[in-house]
Amino acid sequence: MIETPYLLFLGDAPDALAAKVAQGIRDWRPQNAVGQFRMEGCRADMRLPDMTLEEARAAGAKTLVIGVANRGGVISAAWKKVLVQALEEGFDLASGLHNLLRDEPDLVAVAKATGRQLHDVRVPSVQYPIANGVKRSGKRCLAVGTDCSVGKMYTALCMDREMKARGLKSSFRATGQTGILITGDGVPLDAVIADFMAGSIEWLTPDNDADHWDMIEGQGSLFHVSYSGVTLALIHGGQPDALVVCHEPTREHMRGLPGYKLPSLEQVRDMALELAKVANPACQVIGYAINTQHMSEDAAQAYLADVEARLGLPATDPYRYGADKLVDALAAI
């Protein structure tokens, strides 16, 4: 568990895209970010107050979150200076970088001397159990996709936000690095040892109130040959009551697999549902979340109308048009 609130470290981000993690926190958990720390040359801006380390501590920030990708996989000397100072000022550090904070001897030494924590969210910090398949109380909704990176995390976050806006009980459950940094905890599923994957998701989505929903971030796709095992572990560990099928209509082939076409929505619906029923016979597919970011307004509306007509369930782009339809469908089961 990473202590909130955060100071978002944007470093010398060359553009907004490099600061995707910070943007995710800003978009989804603005209450977790008291300000931003920008170095000379930074071209990203979260429209948060610019703060020194001292000012951020005074404003209550507990953790400096590296909200920016580093260039060339190296933590530069310029960054290092800020990170060391942050530890000395009393911040924990949190990072989703490929190269780990814990592999930097100077950061380790200063963290030890100052009693601060280094959170590398790319690697699990928990010894997860093997899944036991026992039915848990409370409800769970899982986003499954035709492919990787089609909007599963945003769909779960949109639904969680809409649930909370309605005063309903909901928790977003992060299963990837960005999601973990947004919310402060979760399971870095792609880094979990094979035997413990499903168990890690049982751990992440424990018994809860009967009317509480976990909105579980999906990973990969049953039809993506590189990562499908991760997806199935999520389906069986998550015991979902509801599935939302996510899709990006302009994708020409599976991400990273030029020879592989995307499956149809029908194929994903049928395959995911049959597998989900192994762990939860009551599971239902409740709707479709279509990522229309590369489509015009007209094309997006026509596509959504077509999906609804063809498949007989609500379809929306929850980020563009809101998650109302999907949350309405959840309420109905």
In angstroms, the Cα distances linking 332 to 98, 140, 219, 242, 326 are 42, 14, 26, 11, 10
Distance in angstroms (rounded) separating the CA atoms of residues 71 and 50: 23
Nearest Cα to Cα of residue 274 among 264, 285, 263 = 285
Least distance (Å) between residue 226 CB and its own copies: 4
Least distance (Å) between residue 64 CB and its own copies: 27
Structure tokens at 7: 């100071």
Residues of this chain, 214-233, that bind its own copies according to CB under 8 A = 222-223, 225-233
Apex 157 CA angle, 156 and 160, nearest 5 = 85
Interaction of residue 134 with its own copies, rule CB under 8 A: yes
Residues counted in the chain:
333
Interaction of residue 304 with its own copies, rule CB under 8 A: no
**Binding piece for its own copies, criterion CB under 8 A, among 62-70, 193-201, 242-250, 301-309:** 193-201
Distance in angstroms (rounded) separating the CA atoms of residues 175 and 109: 30
Least distance (Å) between residue 286 CB and its own copies: 21
**Binding piece for its own copies, criterion CB under 8 A, among 98-106, 125-133, 160-168, 322-330:** 125-133
253, containing H or E segment: none
Interaction of residue 96 with its own copies, rule CB under 8 A: no
DSSP label of 257: B
If DSSP codes are grouped into helix, strand and coil, which group holds residue 74?
Answer: coil
Tell me whether residue 168 or residue 271 sits nearer to its own copies (CB atom).
271
Tell me whether residue 11 or residue 138 sits nearer to its own copies (CB atom).
138
Interaction of residue 193 with its own copies, rule CB under 8 A: yes
Distance in angstroms (rounded) separating the CA atoms of residues 60 and 4: 9
Least distance (Å) between residue 180 CB and its own copies: 15
Interaction of residue 243 with its own copies, rule CB under 8 A: no
Nearest Cα to Cα of residue 272 among 226, 316, 224, 312 = 224
Tell me whether residue 195 or residue 209 sits nearer to its own copies (CB atom).
195
Tell me whether residue 11 or residue 220 sits nearer to its own copies (CB atom).
220
Structure tokens at 212: 């509480």
Interaction of residue 272 with its own copies, rule CB under 8 A: no
Of the residues 179, 199, 218, 287, which one makes contact with its own copies according to CB under 8 A: 199
Least distance (Å) between residue 142 CB and its own copies: 14
**Binding piece for its own copies, criterion CB under 8 A, among 94-102, 258-266, 284-292, 309-317:** 258-266
Structure tokens at 117: 């924590």
DSSP letter for each residue of 137-150:
SSEEEEEEESSSSS
Cβ atoms within 10 Å, residue 115: 9
Of the residues 130, 165, 305, 332, which one makes contact with its own copies according to CB under 8 A: 130
**Binding piece for its own copies, criterion CB under 8 A, among 8-16, 103-111, 141-149, 259-267:** 259-267
**Cα dihedral 70→204→87→100 (10° resolution):** -40
Residues that bind its own copies (CB under 8 A): 130-135, 189-195, 197-199, 222-223, 225-233, 236-237, 254, 256-257, 259-260, 263, 271, 274-275, 278-279
